[in-house]
A and B are shown apart, each in its own frame.
Chain A
Amino acid sequence: MCDQTFVAITFGPCDSCSQNKPLMNIYLQNEPVNYCSLCVELMACQGLAKGETVSTLRAESENLKAKLEEERAKLHDVELHQVAEKVETLGQFVIKTRRTLKGHGNKVLCMDWCRDKRRMVSSSQVIMRSAAVCVLQEHAVTMPCTWVMACAYAPSGCVIACGGLDNKCSVYPLSLDKNENLAAKKKSVAMHTNYLSACSFTNSDMQLLTSSGDGTCALWDVESGQLLQSFHGHSADVLSLDLAPSETGNTFVSGGCDKKANVWDMRSGQNIQSFETHESDINSVKYYPSGDAFATGSDDATCRLYDLRADREVAIYSKESIIFGASSVDFSLSGRLLFAGYNDYNINVWDVLKGTRVAILFGHENRVSTVRVSPDGTAFCSGSWDNTLDFNPV
């Protein structure tokens, strides 16, 4: 039984409009009340209340920020790597690239594993579905837009979602018939006002979570294309998202060009927690397997670990010799290892607890754009701007 973070959200009558909706707990004049998200917005847009000016609001926000820092600092009694000193040091990490999958005529931007652990989908200008067992290209689907920046496998393995500079996320059903024209069966689900940076199915094939260069994330119903919830709070492009690992989990984390990583509740749209310690764009976010923490990879050449229950950054993975940004991160199954792909063409493997680097993996001839560990943890795959995917099994 692992520790899990979950947020209890109430559903009931709003204190303002009396309609039954998911409620956000907010504070009005220091009194806790429950408003639905619509009423929260309406309240925010009303004129100034008595005694309130923009400068008093600003002063209050500065006070609250200082109070937050104080509260977080009180609990900062020790560093993770100090506690981890008693953990056994890892042996030498040896892995050889087993297979290089060529076939993309262009930079590989993104990839995802199917839950059957044997198949992967990867994208550049073309979506490819590959069998990891043999170098066999099963399906190639040409997209009408130039850069496909996001792709994802549905839990059933029957459908893939992808999108990019076309500002949309489209869904393609997969079939065993190689001759079938998949592009004809495409169905547009998500519509953003800027490029699509990441997409992920939730626990079923029915809902799709997307993040975009327009600064928002959104939850969509695949069947109807309807927008179910939108998430506002980033002040710049959102580059990456990851869903919390639990079956009942209703939260996800997003990272963006505003250097912030935000944790959201999927049902109410509320931003639960926010972390801003990176010094540059956050390119990738990934939950720790227990769901209690998440890692980020950033253009400031560091990866960091944030614990949700301590509400702070607990580790930085960096070295003076690493000066290029980290584009993609993923954990091994136990969460002990963090694989991070960098723009200096290498992959660094970090000991999550001790904060030390365990291995450097060479093999790519251009930026590493994506690193993903297989669902059963027996292999990881890296995609690069050198047009190849390197598949590394144990």
Chain B
Amino acid sequence: MALTRMSSKKQSSNNIAQARRIVQQLRIEANIERIKVSKASADLMHYCGEHAKYDPLLMGIPASENPFKDKKPCIIL
């Protein structure tokens, strides 16, 4: 009898701990600073724009600079 009581007490304290952790986590999240989607989007677009010219997969690169262009046959050792 005592054993069941103890395990149910442990169970309920786990539930309390769990509920507390969730509430704690939500409090932290509720209080963070947020910005508007329009500003966030503008910044993402700005980053893309700034770095587009350095993006080979977007722009393509001249054959002379391509490090992966075939130069000579490979030797299998």
Interface residues of A (CB under 8 A from B): 2-3, 24-27, 40, 43-45, 47-48, 54, 57-58, 60-61, 64-65, 67-68, 71-72, 75-80, 83-84, 87, 90, 95, 98, 117-118, 132-136, 233, 270-274, 288-290, 292-293, 307, 309-312, 314, 332-337, 352-353, 373, 376-380, 391, 393-394
Known: A288-B44, A310-B37. A377 touches B24 (CB 8 A): no
Q: How distant is B34 from chain A, measured CB to nearest CB, in Å?
A: 5
Residues of A within 8 A of B51 (CB): 289, 333-335
Contact B35 A71, beta carbon cutoff 8 Å: no
Residues of A within 8 A of B27 (CB): 26-27, 64
Contact A132 B36, beta carbon cutoff 8 Å: no
What are 18 of the A-B contact pairs (CB < 8 Å)? A40-B24, A54-B15, A57-B16, A61-B23, A64-B23, A75-B34, A83-B42, A90-B58, A271-B28, A292-B44, A293-B40, A307-B41, A309-B35, A311-B32, A353-B44, A376-B56, A391-B68, A394-B56
Residues of B within 8 A of A373 (CB): 57
Residues of A within 8 A of B54 (CB): 333-334, 377
Q: How distant is B71 from chain A, measured CB to nearest CB, in Å?
A: 8
Determine which of B30, B34, B58 lies in contact with A334 in the assembled complex, contact meaning CB atoms within 8 Å: B58
Sort chain B's interface into a size bin. 35 or more
Contact A54 B16, beta carbon cutoff 8 Å: yes
Determine which of B25, B34, B52 lies in contact with A311 in the assembled complex, contact meaning CB atoms within 8 Å: B34
Contact B44 A80, beta carbon cutoff 8 Å: yes
Residues of A within 8 A of B41 (CB): 78-80, 83-84, 307, 314
Quick one: which of B20, B21, B30, B61 has the most chain A CB within 10 A?
A: B20
Determine which of A75, A288, A378 lies in contact with B36 in the assembled complex, contact meaning CB atoms within 8 Å: A75
Residue of A nearest to B69 (CB): A393
Q: Beta-carbon contacts of B33-77 to A below 8 Å, as 1s and 0s?
A: 011111111111101111110111110110000111100001111
Contact A44 B40, beta carbon cutoff 8 Å: no
Residues of A within 8 A of B28 (CB): 24-27, 270-272
In the complex, A117 Cα to B19 Cα: how many Å? 47
Residues of B within 8 A of A57 (CB): 16, 19-20, 22-23
Contact A293 B44, beta carbon cutoff 8 Å: yes
In the complex, A3 Cα to B41 Cα: how many Å? 12
Contact B74 A134, beta carbon cutoff 8 Å: yes
In the complex, A156 Cα to B75 Cα: how many Å? 27
Q: How distant is B18 from chain A, measured CB to nearest CB, in Å?
A: 8
Known: A75-B34, A273-B29. A3 touches B24 (CB 8 A): no
Contact A377 B43, beta carbon cutoff 8 Å: no
